[in-house]
Structure 1
């Protein structure tokens, strides 16, 4: 007797159920591809926006890979210059305990499966790491991994490194869809890495260019002098801060600190022009600082199209035995900081005149202060003390306290301490110049 069909199940229902499952799987893949496209777009836009540097890009690539395929662990290995072993390894996903367990273990150099991907730079999908012929096991403390998916990253025709993910969170082995996503990510990552490396080299070249524009302080005896410069921590931020000091023919010591408005190569180039022009004026005109700045402002307006610039120019000369006269003029710049031999700190406050490049008809003023022998005068730019979390006054107070604490150091050590432990946020470049008067 023929079996009866289950009357509660409509004809074709199993086929429709299977079709529904297949359609849902396709929909999941489409959603996954859409997320992958968004992540790849975000990755590349982050680099194009010039807001991230290479280490951040590499970390972002691993994070993106893990998210795309739902992996528990991920890593990116960067090859050495000869492409023979891993010179850098960036692991992601390790717990604090797992990191602690591996604290005394060297990062992988490119053996086992990692080495296999170096010598065979095509995608690698493994369901059982231990069973793979190239497997070399794991060091003590390493989490046990069963599945692995890797792809090579190539930049300009050369293998840059390898991208790895391990252990899907759902416990399933990586499939062809995962492999397609990781290979696509590796290709997009190569573009992002190439741009980040190019930008990083351009930034380093620009910083080197700016440093070459800054002077090497000449022999200023009987004065002692030291200077320091720090570039901004902000990527692509090249400034126009500068310092200079020289002995004039009448044995007066001239010191200047300045800051060209702007954070690009144009500002750095303008800084060099202004510094050189100021040197010529100092030698040519035996006049007070205010007159030199006035003439500089007029010359800049006449022969160049320069941006606004702040500056402080000082002359230090003997006033009497054991005492020195400081005569200075300030063009919208922070005041010098005086540290007397007893390490007390005080700012030489005076009403600042207009910065250079605004109005050449305005009168500029000189200010004079007597300082004892063995005093230190610190000239600096605002990058040394400005911070968004506190006021300008607070930043200057913190700088004065730091300078007072270390005023007894040799002068070069003194400026290095201030440059290394400044109270600013580091998002602007900074220049500082310290002069110490003779004791007699």
Structure 2
């Protein structure tokens, strides 16, 4: 009878090798898990960043650059489909060097032929190690980088294909893999929601802007003066605001100019602006009194019958003064008018500003007077034109004065347009500007 041999026990060196192999395997798994966790965090951060954008162009560019970062791609692009769904109507790129962009300067953007057209017709994720090997490949136009790898994912908005996200050339030289495809597909899904939100927001904003502009008057003929006004909504999420202007010819031929700013950025502020402007108009036509007295009566009336927010405003009468004119004005916490003299100098007409409306209706308000010579321009504006968190108010006022003198020779409509386009503020607030120019004698 044979004795069974006992199984041989592994040596210590063999055990060590096995242990090392298991540790290495566990390490690789942990590293893969860490990479997956990092990617997940990156994806979540990316979704949050995209969802914060409020402009469609910014969302689309952010989608491309974020996808590139998540998978380490050198090039990225997003093609937006035409409404017909048959070809690309817009093409956003990222990753091209300045030289590569120069090389493509005369080349029209892709309309969706070749491999890109395949993804339009078949909106499933497409992953290629060699673009040229695909049956639909038609090559690249002159000057285009010679790309090899491609990861393409369709983006849909409310169930309809909106466009396609393309990535090419991983920086590590490896082909795109399943993890890349999954994370880009997840990003594309989140991007579709962000795009829809921005489109809805733009519709609301457009309606809000239209509503706001309908509340503001069309300037009447203010002969012998030339006048122009402009309103710009805030960049902030709610474009509704309380900035307003008005100009009317009173029964004695005096021209009254008003400008104001109701605190807030919502429907209540816009409604308060409308009621304040309408009440002021009624007082101007029924009360033959100085601007300070009109503002005092307006303050008492508003406090008695409304719950309007605090409001700054300035009321100016432009009166005849011999062969020229004079400004007679009073303010309720508002910024000073800016006078550009016929020789091109700018002067802020600083004076006692008074309290805003809605603070203390019993507080007296002074009137101020300043000559207004022929060929002069006076500018009334709200604080959205100059406020900037990184600048002191004096610096912004000086920048506005320089801007006004630079463009003082323009026709008055172009002049207010230039002020609105090149203002020294950060754009966080809405802007109202009214400029009046006296004729040369």
Normalised by the length of structure 2, the TM-score is 0.91
**Residues 239 and 267 in structure 1, CA contact (< 8 A), matched pair in contact too:** yes
Tell me which residue corresponds to 1:44: 47
Please tell me whether residue 159 in structure 1 is matched to residue 153 in structure 2.
Answer: no
1:347 offset after TM fit, Å?
A: 2.2
Please tell me whether residue 178 in structure 1 is matched to residue 211 in structure 2.
Answer: no
Q: Residue 414 of structure 1: SS of its match in structure 2?
A: helix
Provide the alpha-carbon RMSD of the alignment.
2.5
1:35 is aligned, of 35, 38, 54, to 38
Q: Deviations over 1:203-254 (max 9, x none)?
A: 2322222222221101222222111222333444543211110101111100
Q: Is the alpha carbon distance of 1:260 and 1:77 closer, same or farther for their aligned partners in structure 2, counting shifts above 3 Å?
A: same
Q: Is the alpha carbon distance of 1:42 and 1:424 closer, same or farther for their aligned partners in structure 2, counting shifts above 3 Å?
A: same
Q: Deviations over 1:350-394 (max 9, x none)?
A: 111101111111111211223223322211112222333432122
5+ residue gaps, structure 1, are: none
Normalised by the length of structure 1, the TM-score is 0.91
Q: Residue 139 of structure 1: SS of its match in structure 2?
A: coil
CA distance in 2: counterparts of 1:409 and 1:106, whole angstroms: 38
2:274 is aligned, of 253, 269, 272, to 272
CA distance in 2: counterparts of 1:124 and 1:227, whole angstroms: 54
**Residues 416 and 434 in structure 2, CA contact (< 8 A), matched pair in contact too:** yes
Aligned pair count reads: 434
Q: Is the alpha carbon distance of 1:64 and 1:403 closer, same or farther for their aligned partners in structure 2, counting shifts above 3 Å?
A: closer
Please tell me whether residue 413 in structure 1 is matched to residue 417 in structure 2.
Answer: no
Q: Is the alpha carbon distance of 1:93 and 1:343 closer, same or farther for their aligned partners in structure 2, counting shifts above 3 Å?
A: closer
Tell me which residue corresponds to 1:365: 366
CA distance in 1: counterparts of 2:312 and 2:73, whole angstroms: 54
Tell me which residue corresponds to 1:332: 333
1:343 offset after TM fit, Å?
A: 2.7
Q: Residue 10 of structure 1: SS of its match in structure 2?
A: helix
Q: Is the alpha carbon distance of 1:305 and 1:31 closer, same or farther for their aligned partners in structure 2, counting shifts above 3 Å?
A: same
CA distance in 1: counterparts of 2:37 and 2:350, whole angstroms: 61
**Residues 80 and 91 in structure 2, CA contact (< 8 A), matched pair in contact too:** yes
Tell me which residue corresponds to 2:4: none
Q: Residue 324 of structure 1: SS of its match in structure 2?
A: strand
**Residues 53 and 59 in structure 2, CA contact (< 8 A), matched pair in contact too:** no
5+ residue gaps, structure 2, are: 1-8
Q: Deviations over 1:312-370 (max 9, x none)?
A: 100112122x1213211011111112223233322222111101111111111211223
Q: Deviations over 1:143-190 (max 9, x none)?
A: 221111111111111111111111222222222222222222211221
Q: Is the alpha carbon distance of 1:409 and 1:175 closer, same or farther for their aligned partners in structure 2, counting shifts above 3 Å?
A: closer
1:16 offset after TM fit, Å?
A: 7.0
CA distance in 2: counterparts of 1:22 and 1:194, whole angstroms: 44
Tell me which residue corresponds to 1:288: 290
2:70 is aligned, of 68, 85, 102, to 68
